[in-house]
Amino acid sequence: MIDDDEIVGEFLEDGLDDWVSLHNVVWFTTRGEITEKSKTHAMEILGRLYSDGLMVPGRLGDVGFEDWPGGVSEWVTRSRSELDELDWKPMGAGFRLRLTEHGEAIAREAESRS
C-alpha cells in the first residue's frame, strides 16, 4: 500500500514536468475505489499539499496557469465542491495543481537522491 508521503512525492515529481491533473489526484488518492473514506483521504492529501505550501490549485487560462484566489481553506472547500460536481470522475476536467517554489525545491532534492 502506498503511503501519504509517497502520494505527495508522486505529485511533486509529476509537477516537475507538467501541472498535475485532477484525474491523477483522484486516482492516486483513491486507487479507483471512490468511497467516503477515500474521498476524505483525497481531501486530506490536497489539504496537505496546500497547507504545506507545496502546490497551488488553478486553471489553465489565456496566460497559462492561473492560481485560484484565496487561501488554503477556500481551496479545500472549492476542491471538494468541484470534485463533487464531477462525481469524483474528472476524466480530464477540473482544476489542476502547480508546484510552488517550495514544492519544486523539495521535488528536485528528492530527484537528486534517486
Domains of the chain: 4-113 (1.10.3510)
Instruction: Choose among 37, 50, 38: nearest CA to 77.
Output: 50
pLDDT digits (tens, 9 = 90+) for 13-33: 999 999 999 999 999 999 889
pLDDT at 102: 97
Q: Give the three-state DSSP class for 35.
A: coil
pLDDT at 1: 57
Q: What is the mean pLDDT of the segment spanning 48-58? A: 98
C-alpha cell recorded at residue 57: 490549485
Band (pLDDT 50/70/90 cuts) for residue 114 is confident
Distance (Å, whole) CA 61 – CA 101: 20
pLDDT at 111: 85
pLDDT at 113: 84
pLDDT at 32: 85
The pTM of this model reads: 0.93
pLDDT digits (tens, 9 = 90+) for 64-101: 999 999 999 999 999 999 999 999 999 989 999 999 99
